[in-house]
């Protein structure tokens, strides 16, 4: 049994935060942000709405498009680093809001590689024959964990969600082909939110020291991201007897345009083989890859049979690549 993506969708909030807006908030410039990251604007969700709001909207879009009832879902996996609450899971709130009466679900914490991890996980349940319809969602409300006085982080991230529906393949010859995933926890302090968990429970001190905001050593993450995504994608191609010429699209995690360009160069891919939308949304963490895939699908860029590689790198360090053959007409 093979698992195939049969539906794809996304949701982004309406409110835009532009580089010009950020110039008013921290010591930065449109020129610096554009040349160092490629980002022009990002989307910000309303304060009173949580991550699950975006996840539900992205999933609903697919259910409507496919005329599938939420009751038919067997499993909901939410890749997120910004859950609505620690207890219960964001998946529980999404299940409730979708009114998906016959499923189970869980959150998966894989940082910026969360969606790739989640897609690999969902695939196992379809390939085993256990489940027929698995909704895999990448959603993050990064704005809830950003210090808008820290120019190192607040210019990079944005909010959004993307989702795919996984089902068994009817023909058996298309779908999620292979993946290689990694985790190296020795890098954890280079990109993390120190407090709020059991390591640093919330206290006046953690709030005063701004320990609930995301902290990043950008240069170190940058170096590892380029090497990590290029190496693992190259190994995945070799393992499947494919070359750069066989790949229709690389859909990379959108963290920095310079990282994406460096990865594409190492893999010897032409610009038209790489899907990029970082200019419009910034880094939406677990959402970047399904959001880029959904936009490319809406533009009718893919044809059934196309080889596509998804690749991500982020907090953990967690990284990996997934190879798939496109199925949707």
Give the catalytic positions in this structure: 112, 253, 283
Which listed residue (116, 135, 255, 262) binds ligand UT7 by CB under 6 A? 255
Round the CA-based radius of gyration of the chain to a whole number and report it: 19
Q: In terms of CB distance, is 34 or 132 closer to ligand UT7?
A: 34
Q: In terms of CB distance, is 26 or 328 closer to ligand UT7?
A: 26
Burial class (CB in 10 A: 0-12, 13-18, 19+), 152: middle
User: What does the alpha-carbon distance between residue 289 and residue 310 come to, in Å, rounded to a whole number?
Assistant: 7
CB of 58 closer than 8 Å to CB of 291: no
Q: What is the DSSP letter of 210?
A: T
**Residue where the block lists tokens 């379809």:** 126
User: What does the alpha-carbon distance between residue 223 and residue 256 come to, in Å, rounded to a whole number?
Assistant: 12
**289 near ligand UT7, rule: CB under 6 A:** no
User: How many alpha carbons lie under 13 Å from residue 108 in its C-beta half-sphere?
Assistant: 25
**39 near ligand UT7, rule: CB under 6 A:** no
**36 near ligand UT7, rule: CB under 6 A:** yes
Show the tokens assigned to 7: 């539906």
Q: In terms of CB distance, is 54 or 221 closer to ligand UT7?
A: 221
**51 near ligand UT7, rule: CB under 6 A:** no
Residue span binding ligand UT7 (CB under 6 A) among the ranges 89-97, 151-159, 168-176, 231-239: 151-159
CB of 252 closer than 8 Å to CB of 311: yes
Q: Which residue is nearest to ligand UT7, using beta carbons? A: 218
CA distances from 258 to 24, 216, 241, 283, 318 (A): 25, 17, 28, 13, 20
Q: In terms of CB distance, is 69 or 220 closer to ligand UT7?
A: 220
Show the tokens assigned to 208: 């005063």
User: What does the alpha-carbon distance between residue 39 and residue 210 come to, in Å, rounded to a whole number?
Assistant: 25
Residue span binding ligand UT7 (CB under 6 A) among the ranges 89-97, 119-127, 218-226, 243-251: 218-226
Which listed residue (32, 148, 200, 307) binds ligand UT7 by CB under 6 A? 32
Residue span binding ligand UT7 (CB under 6 A) among the ranges 28-36, 161-169, 192-200, 301-309: 28-36
Q: In terms of CB distance, is 152 or 273 closer to ligand UT7?
A: 152
**182 near ligand UT7, rule: CB under 6 A:** no
Q: Which residues bind ligand UT7 (CB under 6 A)?
A: 28, 32, 36-37, 112, 151-152, 155-156, 191, 218-219, 221-222, 225, 255-256, 259, 283, 314
């Amino acid at each position: 049994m093979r698992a195939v993506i049969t539906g794809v969708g996304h949701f982004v909030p309406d409110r835009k935060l532009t580089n010009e807006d950020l110039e008013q908030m921290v010591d930065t410039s449109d020129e610096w942000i554009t040349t160092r990251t490629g980002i022009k604007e990002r989307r910000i969700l309303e304060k009173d709405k949580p991550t699950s709001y975006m996840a539900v909207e992205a999933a609903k879009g697919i259910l409507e498009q496919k005329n599938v009832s939420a009751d038919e879902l067997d499993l909901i996996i939410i890749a997120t680093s910004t859950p609505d609450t620690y207890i219960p899971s964001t998946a529980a709130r999404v299940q409730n809001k979708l009114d998906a009466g016959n499923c189970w679900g869980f959150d998966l914490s894989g940082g910026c590689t969360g969606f790739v991890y989640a897609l690999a996980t969902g695939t196992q349940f379809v390939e085993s024959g256990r489940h027929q319809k698995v909704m895999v969602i990448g959603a993050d409300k990064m704005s809830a964990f950003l210090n808008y006085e820290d120019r190192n982080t607040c210019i990079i991230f944005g909010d959004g969600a993307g989702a795919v529906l996984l089902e068994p393949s009817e023909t058996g010859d298309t779908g999620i082909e292979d993946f290689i995933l990694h985790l190296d926890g020795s890098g954890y302090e280079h990109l993390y939110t120190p407090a709020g968990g059991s390591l640093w429970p919330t206290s006046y001190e953690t709030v005063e020291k701004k320990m609930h905001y995301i902290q990043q050593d950008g240069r170190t993450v940058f170096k590892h991201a380029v090497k990590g995504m290029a190496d693992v994608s190259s190994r995945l191609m070799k393992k499947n007897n494919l070359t750069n010429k066989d790949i229709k699209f690389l859909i990379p995690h959108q963290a920095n345009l310079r990282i994406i360009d460096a990865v594409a160069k190492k893999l010897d891919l032409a610009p038209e083989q790489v899907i990029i939308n970082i200019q419009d949304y910034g880094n939406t963490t677990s959402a970047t890859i399904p959001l880029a895939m959904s936009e490319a699908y809406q533009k009718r860029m893919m044809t059934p049979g196309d080889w596509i590689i998804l690749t991500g790198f982020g907090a953990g360090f967690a990284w990996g690549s997934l190879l798939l053959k496109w199925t949707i007409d």
